[in-house]
Each structure stands twice: as C-alpha cells, then as structure tokens.
Structure 1
Amino acid sequence: MTAIDWFSLLHPVLVILFVYPVMGATIRLGILVREKRLGITKQPALVPREHADHGRWVTAGVVVAVLIALVYSFISKAVEPGAAFVGGAARLALLLLVAAGTLVAILALLKVKRPALRASFTLLTWAGLLGLGSQPEIWRLSDNPFSGAFWSSHYWSGVLLTGLFLMNLAARPEITRHLRWRRLHVASNILIMVLLAVQAITGSRDLLEIPLSWQKPAIYRCDFTNRVCPEPGAAPAAAAPGSAVAAPSLG
C-alpha cells in the first residue's frame, strides 16, 4: 500500500475507534440523564455534564472524519497517474483552505456561548462540508432525491447525520432549559442512531468498491453499469530458446 492508500484508511479508522464508541457512551449517559430528571434513578451530579462533553467530542469527531474523507478524495484525484486535476494546484489549494476553515469553524463552535455565534458557526461548518462535498471529485451514488440510489448514498446520509450532530451541539443550552428542545433532541437522536447504522452498512459497501491506487488503471477499465470487465490480456510470451539460465549440474 502507498501513502495515499494508508491515508484512505484514516476516515473509517477514526469512525470505528472513536466516533462509534463515544456515541455509545453518549447514548448511555443520555438515558441516565433522562432517568435522573424523571426521578427514576439517582445519578451522580456530573452525569449531565459528562453527557454534554461526550456529545461535543462525538460531534467534533464526526466533522473531522468527514473532512479527512473529503480531503482524501481531492488529493487522491490530484496525484492519480495520467489524470489532470481540474483547476490544477490553485483549485486544490482553495479546497484545502476551505477544509481548514471548516475545521476552524467547528473548533469555534465548541467554544462560543452566545446563541447568534453558535448558530453562525454551525451554519459555517455545515456549509463548508456541503461546499466541499458538492465537488465532482466526491463520490455520490445520486444527487436526485427521487431515486433509490440517493437514499442509499453514504455521502448524503452522512451529510444529514452531520447536520443533526451540529444542531444538537449548537442547541445544548436550549436543550437543558426547555422541554420542547429536549423532545426535539430525543427525536433527532433516534434518527441519528438509524443513520449511524446506515453509515456502517453503506461505508462497508463503499470500501469494497474503492481500489488501491495501483489497481485503479485496471479497475477503471471495467463497465460498472453492466458489471463486466475486459478480458485479461494474453499470457506473457514464453522465453526465447536458450534464454533461460541452465540448471546447475549435479555431477
């Protein structure tokens, strides 16, 4: 595997080792917070704070994982042998700058307190991800919401999932104070759990379809619509007589 192939593994590795475990802990802590609020069980006073902190970590982890996947898509196309990256180095630099700005926006969202600032940095983060994701280098099964491929797309379900995470993070003070926001928070988390399952399925599927860098020239000659590949070339010609190294004598 080359360096770009190892880079392609950063996105799934981060999701598997960090996002899903932290999300599981966040859900468990959320259940404990609800039981504490309803008086069902007695919980330590730090449980609500731990739940909020885990929510912050998992949201930041999701955004970083998405940015890694997007940046990989751009860089892999730019270094692909025999393929010219549309827009050249200037466009690639601009895309990387947008990715860096999106990272700054999520970091700022973790720090700001005022509602207007929380809303602004939430929109900036999501807009950055949507802008990067709309580029032609990003693999999307379909952009038509009336097609089945759209709803089985790893990208589009990921976009919705990230938006829900960002909304919950931005509205944390309102969720704490208002019943209506808490109900919306619970409903969004149920949808988040469904989307996480969808992401696990579609992500595993897409990993099977992404060839290693050295395999791309052969794989891309296949007809993906009809699911056929060209016949392999003829076997290498036999070595010319006398060209083989003579076997050592046993005598």
Structure 2
Amino acid sequence: MVDLNDALGLLHPAIAVIFVFPFIGIVSYFAWQTRQRRLQIMAGKSNIPPTTGLNHNRFGKVLAGAVVGLALLGMAHPIFANITTNQIWSKEPLKVVFIVLIFAATIASLVFLYRAKPRLWRGIFATLTGTGLVVLGSQDGVFRREYEWYVSHYYIGLAAAMLMIFSLAILPDIYQDRSNRWRIVHAVLNSIALLLFVGQGLTGTRDLLEIPLGWQKHYIEQCDFAARICPSKTSQSQVEKELGVVQALRL
C-alpha cells in the first residue's frame, strides 16, 4: 500500500504525463502550422486558418506557466519532506520561513511576468522567477544527480523552465520586431526546449525506477549508486543487529 508521502511524490510525474506533455504536442503542432502558413502566404495563398498563430500564442503561454509550476511542484515535495523528516522547523525555523517566502515570491513573479508590458519589468520578473527556481533547487532534499549532471532530470528540467520563462519575457517583442530577429531566437530556443522535454521524459522515467518507496528507503540509501553496489542481505542483517544494540544501550 502506498503511503501519503509516496502518493505526493507521484503528483509531479502524473501532472507531467496527463497535462504538460499533451500541451507540448499541441503547442508544437500549432508552431509548425504557423510556420507553414507564413511560408505559404509568402508564396501566394494558404489554406491554414489565421487563428493558428493565435492558438499557438495562447497555448504557449499556458505551457510556459505549466512547466514552471511543474518545476516548483517537483521541488516542493522533496524540500518539505526533508523539512518534516529532519524536523527543520524546530531546528532552523527561519530557514523554513525563507523557503516558504521564496516559493511565494517565485509564484508572484511568474504571475506579474504574465501581466507586465514594459520590457524592463518583463526582464525584472523573468529574472526573479528564474532566480527563485535556482534558489529552491539548491535546497536540501532536492536530488540533483550531480555525479551525472549531464543526464540529470533536475538540471534538464531547470534549463527547460528557464527557456519557458525567457519565451514569456520576449513574447511581445516577437510581434513588434519587423526584422524577425526575436522570432528566430524564439524558434531556435524553443526547438532546444523541445529536445529538453524529450530528455525530461527519458530521465523522469528512469528516476521513477530509482526512487524507492518509503519502506525501502533505509536500505536503498546504503547503496553505492556510482559503483551500482548494494549491501548483501547478510551485511544488512548485521547492520540492523548493531543498530538494535546501540538503541538498547541508549535506553
């Protein structure tokens, strides 16, 4: 039976599969259609409806916010699980308050980024949102897989979220720039983001296989992930006996 903590850990991948990844397909489809319509109009006439670009814009905004929100959710569970497990609230209450404030400030900055019109304010709120993600990602409890950072679900997801934030920040400039410079930047960076999303699907599936359930965690934590070696049953029993003796002596 899955306990509450394990069930909460499934929220991040479940939302990604049910909501975010279908949106990636929708936005990619409308992006391709928008590009094809523009090329066809340059050649003469297009049968692709003019609402395609509007739909790409609309669903793209939703996708950007969903990716950032999903990143925050993925960080929130391990951070607060670590706070609860290690009783950080009683040991370092100011640290917990700081983490909560950073979560609130990051969410608020994202909301203001959607509403901001001047380029300066868009840059400020985009920077604050990205900084909030980095600060939260550096907290204890977040598994960053630093020994294999190049295939880390955390680092790939952080890069994808940063590209989504940047896309939101430059969105008005795309329609105002007649030289199409910002449009080209947008297309290139979001093509990279699409590859990062593929990487997220692969690394996320791998991590689901590696993250132990609550009742397995004590044993799994004794494994050497770099060497791919776990303690044998005999050595595990010996460790449990030694722990039992230590606890008995303490009593």
With structure 1 as the length reference, what TM-score do the two structures score? Answer: 0.84
Kindly tell me: are residues 180 and 63 of structure 1, through their superposed partners in 2, closer, same or farther at Cα, counting changes over 3 Å? same
Given residue 55 of structure 1, which amino acid in structure 2 is its aligned partner?
G
Question: Residue 107 in 1 paired to residue 106 in 2?
Answer: no
Distance 2:226 2:166 in 1: 38
- Is residue 79–residue 140 contact of structure 2 (8 Å, CA) maintained in 1? no
% identity of equivalent residues: 31
Aligned with 2:66 (options 57, 61, 76)? 61
Q: Quote the residue 1:18 is aligned against.
A: 19
Which moved further from structure 2: 101-110 or 218-227?
A: 218-227
8 A contact 1:71–1:96 mirrored in 2:
no
Q: Secondary structure at the match of 2:146?
A: coil
Map of 1:92 onto structure 2: 96
Structure 2 regions of 5+ residues with no counterpart? Answer: 239-251
Pick closer, same or farther for the CA change 1:17–1:51 going to 2, 3 Å: same
Amino acid at match of 1:131: V
The residue number in structure 2 matching 1:30 is 31
Q: Which residue does 1:153 correspond to in 2?
A: 152
The separation in 1 between residues aligned to 2:225 and 2:113, in whole angstroms, is: 42
* SS in structure 2 at match of 1:99: helix
Q: Deviations over 1:24-47 (max 9, x none)?
A: 111111112122222162333322
Residue of structure 2 equivalent to 1:210: 211
Contact 2:156 2:199 survives alignment (8 Å): yes
Paired position in structure 1 for 2:184: 183
TM-score (normalizing by structure 2): 0.84
Change (3 A) 1:205 1:22: same
Deviation at residue 84 of structure 1 after TM alignment: 4.9
Please state whether the residue corresponding to 1:58 is helix, strand or coil.
helix
Structure 1 segments (4+ residues) deviating >3 Å: 83-90
Deviations 1:128-171 (A, max 9, x none): 0001112232211228xxxxx22111111111111111111111
Aligned-pair CA distance for 1:78: 2.2
Is 1:141 equivalent to 2:150 in the alignment?
Answer: no
> One-letter code of the match for 1:140?
R
In the alignment, the residues of structure 1 paired with residue 225 and residue 128 of structure 2 have an alpha-carbon distance, to the nearest angstrom, of 36
Partner of 1:72: 77
- Kept after mapping to 1: 8 A contact 2:5/2:214: yes
Q: Which amino acid is 2:193 matched to?
A: I
* Separation in structure 1 between the aligned mates of residue 149 and residue 224 of structure 2, nearest angstrom: 21
The alignment of Structure 1 onto Structure 2 pairs a total of residues equal to: 227
Kept in 2: contact 1:164–1:192 (CA 8 A) = yes
Q: CA deviation at 1:218?
A: 1.9
Q: What is the CA RMSD across the aligned residues, in angstroms?
A: 1.9
In the other structure, the counterpart of 1:247 is none
| Structure-2 separation of matches of 1:224 and 1:195 | 24
Distance apart, 1:54 and its partner CA: 0.6
Letter in 1 for 2:152: S
Unaligned segments of structure 1, at least 5 residues? 144-148, 235-251
Which amino acid in the other structure matches residue 68 of structure 1? L
